[in-house]
Chains A and B, each alone.
Chain A
Amino acid sequence: MASITLKKLSKAYGALTVIPDLSLEIRDTEFVVLVGPSGCGKSTLLRVLAGLEPISGGELYIGNDLVNDVQPSKRDIAMVFQDYALYPHMTVRQNMSFALEMRNVPKAEITEQVDRAAALLDITKFLERRPKALSGGQRQRVAMGRAIVRNPRVFLFDEPLSNLDAKLRAQVRAEIKALSDQLKTTMVFVTHDQVEAMTMADRIVVLKDGVIQQVGTPEEVYNQPVNEFVGGFIGSPAMNIFDARVEGGKLLLTDGTILDAPKSLREGQSVRLGIRPEHFVPDLSGVSVPVKLTEPLGSETLVHFDLAGTEAIASVPPDTPARAHGRLSLRVAMNKAHLFDPETGASLRQKTLEAV
């Protein structure tokens, strides 16, 4: 139970700067999800929080304590490692009991906590096994269990659900969320999974090359991405991006497709137009596009089509008459579309909203 404050924090491995300058305030009891492309420094940031990597510059506070030079064992954090890091010479029960034993928790209480966590993660029947005799997903659950038996000041999770099957993943996701509400512990969670990020986070932190792109609630980063990177990264399938130019009061795509232009744009201005799959609406008065492929997902159908030399994806209702190699008329919900500066990638929409 503590806030985490990063002030101008930097981290370099020798000549390689992974995190150049990062300031962030994670509130007490908050559930923060870190997302970003592979190699952007998510694990590094978690390791810095855990104290496993020395900080190259800046300050790190947990609660009100400056912990720059505090040993990992003294930080009172629990962490799930990306590669599980189970103790091979201990049984699952011993693995999960270890941290509590190190803290001199009474035996009876340890047993109770471990049994509770094991039941939650559905690993009760493996408790007397060694990690070697478990599958990847089972090991991952043990790694989760080792963390959640504790009641630390901060939980750090490095992609803890990546190896679970869809059903178990949804189940454990809900459990973690419930756990976070119940324990009221600050949690920092790294994931590649859009659904995890959107459903679990109080706030999402989008990282790129060790630099924060945007911090906000799931709705904010989804609906108001501050730049093209965030727009393209958050959301699955990804936002469709087109080059466009304002001509004669209309928005012109490279293949001559004409769309309505928002009023705020200047004549002749070049922009990058971002349209989410669900903002293509089947409409006979819309633009007719050649369908390449359809992916019926049950609740929706993904339609892959060519538009202005880009392969775009639209998410349409399942009863839409779209067939591969056929044609489909789509309208763009321009009030939901995103406009980005082609030079800087920054969103033009917020300015638009301000200007209105």
Chain B
Amino acid sequence: MSMSDPMSDRSARIANSVMLFIAGMLVITPTFWMVLSSFKQSFEVTAYPPKLFFTPTLENYVTLSERTPFLHYAFNSMVVTVGSTLLGLILGTPAAFVASWTRITWPAIVTLVARMAPGTLFLLPWYLMFRQVDMIGTYGALILTHGVITMPIVIWVLLPFFDNIPRSIYEAAQVDGCAPARVFWKIALPLVSSGLVVSTILAFVFSWNYFLFSLVLSNSDTKTLIAASFNFIGEGSTNWGGLMAAATMIALPPLVLATIVQRWLISGLTLGAVKG
């Protein structure tokens, strides 16, 4: 579509490829390393120089499923992540709509600040509060606290989506007989559907990967997968192979999810493309 000369066109393409390659390597190398290590014997994992060729073993995965209640932890993670993602959507979606409608964004900024604050800030007050109401070790406490992770994501992903809806469309709906709550359900929500997909995925992934609150507020029965994986880091020796096998399993659900919805994810993250 451009008239630029083929030479510079080509060098631009090459530069693009090189940069994509570097970015790709940065992301893929540790993942590759992780997956590879999970199939090695423990002593091989830390060997230097690292071995690319070795006899793969499922030993680490066997350990994972036989010596730890892996499935139970996975179930915990699923409960907490799904619960907190729903919580974030239920609270965050109307909040984003109202913030956009009224143009009052300071509450959204407060949630963002809360999200950016180090999680350790919340630990002590939450520990005390949940102990007071006897909720330490419950799914409820974990779901509620993970709401601090999910809700700001939902709000901040959806805000620009709502802002993009022309105001007169809301106004037409009002004139057509919708009270504000109905404008939200009938008009605004369907128009931000791709934003909902994006915010759900992001909230899910961030909540799934968050370990700090679970370390303190769960008990052995409600521990999430990622918090439990820290058990492999021992006092004296760390079972790297086991840890890598656990990490590989933990990385799987978000990866699968992101792959399934990647089309929406990309169009949603580059909001301009879905406008109009």
Instruction: Assess the B177–A85 pair: CB atoms within 8 A.
Output: no
Could you give, for residues 70-86 of chain A, a 1 whenever the CB lies within 8 Å of some chain B CB and a 0 otherwise? 01110101110101011
Give the interface centre of B169, B171, B177 by most chain A CB atoms within 10 Å. Answer: B177
7 cross-chain pairs, A with B, having the tightest CB-CB distances, nearest first: A102-B177, A99-B176, A85-B168, A85-B172, A72-B174, A89-B190, A79-B175
* In the complex, chain B residues 160-197 whose Cβ is within 8 Å of any chain A Cβ: 166, 168-169, 171-179, 182, 186-187, 190-191
Given A73-B179, A132-B276, decide whether A85 and B174 contact each other with a Cβ distance below 8 A: no
Complex contact A85–B179 (CB within 8 A): no
The answer to whether A73 touches B174 (Cβ under 8 A) is: yes
Q: How far is the CB of B93 from chain A (nearest CB, A)?
A: 16
With CB as the reference atom, state the residue of chain A lying closest to B168.
A85
Q: CB of A88 within 8 A of chain B? A: yes
Specify which of A50, A75, A83, A102 is in contact with B182 (CB 8 Å cutoff). A102
Q: How many residue pairs, one in A and one in B, have C-beta atoms under 8 Å apart?
A: 58
Contact with A along B134-170 (1 / 0, CB 8 A): 0000000000000000000000000000000010110
* Contact present for A71 and B172 (CB under 8 Å): no
CA distance A132 to B275 in the complex (A): 11
- How far, in Å, is A152 (CB) from chain B's closest CB? 9
A71 touches B179 (CB 8 A): yes
A-B contact pairs, 9 of them (CB 8 A): A47-B171, A71-B174, A73-B175, A73-B177, A75-B175, A85-B172, A98-B176, A102-B178, A103-B177
The answer to whether A87 and B276 touch (CB under 8 A), given A73-B177, A102-B177, is no
B223-238 CB contacts (< 8 Å) to partner A: none
Residue from the set A99, A103, A146 with the largest chain B CB neighbour count within 10 Å: A99
Nearest-CB distance from A269 to chain B (Å)?
A: 51
Identity of the chain B residue whose Cβ is nearest the Cβ of A158 in the assembled complex = B168
Q: Are B182 and A77 within 8 A (Cβ)?
A: no
Bound CA–CA A81/B178 (angstroms): 16
In whole angstroms, how far apart are the Cα atoms of A79 and B176 in the complex? 8
Q: Is the CB of B175 within 8 A of A87?
A: no
Residue of A nearest to B182 (CB): A102
**Chain B residues within 8 Å of chain A by Cβ, number:** 18
Q: Are B178 and A83 in contact (CB under 8 A)?
A: no
Q: Contact at B175–A50, with CB atoms within 8 Å?
A: yes
Q: Which of A30-88 contact B (CB under 8 A)?
A: 47, 50-52, 71-73, 75, 77-79, 81, 83, 85-88
List the B side residues contacting A52 at CB < 8 Å: 171, 174-175
B176 touches A81 (CB 8 A): no
Contact A88 B176 (CB under 8 A): no
Give the CA-CA distance A103 to B179 in the complex, in Å.
12
Q: A102-B182, A132-B276 are in contact. Are A88 and B169 (CB under 8 A)?
A: yes
Closest chain-A Cβ to B97's Cβ sits at a distance in Å of 15
Contact yes or no, B191 A85, CB < 8 A: no
The answer on a CB contact under 8 Å between B178 and A87 is no
Q: How far is the CB of B178 from chain A (nearest CB, A)?
A: 6
Instruction: Give residues 124-183 of A contacting B (CB, 8 Å).
Output: 132, 146
* Contact call A81/B172, Cβ cutoff below 8 A: yes
Could you tell me the distance between the alpha carbons of A75 and B166 in the complex, rounded to whole angstroms? 22
Knowing A88-B191, A102-B182, the reply to whether A83 touches B166 (Cβ < 8 A) is yes
On chain A, the residues within 8 Å of B172 by CB distance are 79, 81, 85-87, 146
Is there an interface contact between B169 and A78, defined as CB atoms closer than 8 Å?
no
Complex: A128 Cα to B172 Cα, angstroms:
20
Task: Write out the residue numbers on chain B whose beta carbons fall within 8 Å of the beta carbon of A77.
Answer: 175
- Give, as a whole number of angstroms, the nearest-CB distance from A189 to chain B: 16
Residues of A within 8 A of B171 (CB): 47, 50, 52, 72, 81, 85
Is the beta-carbon distance between A87 and B187 smaller than 8 angstroms? yes
Q: How far is the CB of B89 from chain A (nearest CB, A)?
A: 19
B168 and A83 form a contact (CB under 8 A): yes
Is there an interface contact between B191 and A102, defined as CB atoms closer than 8 Å?
A: no
- The CA of A88 and the CA of B175, in the complex, are separated in Å by 17
- Which residue of A77, A78, A85, A146 has the most chain B CB atoms within 10 A of its CB atom? A85
Beyond A78-B175, A85-B169, A146-B176, 10 additional contacts (C-beta under 8 Å) are: A73-B175, A79-B175, A85-B171, A87-B169, A87-B173, A88-B191, A98-B186, A99-B175, A102-B176, A102-B182
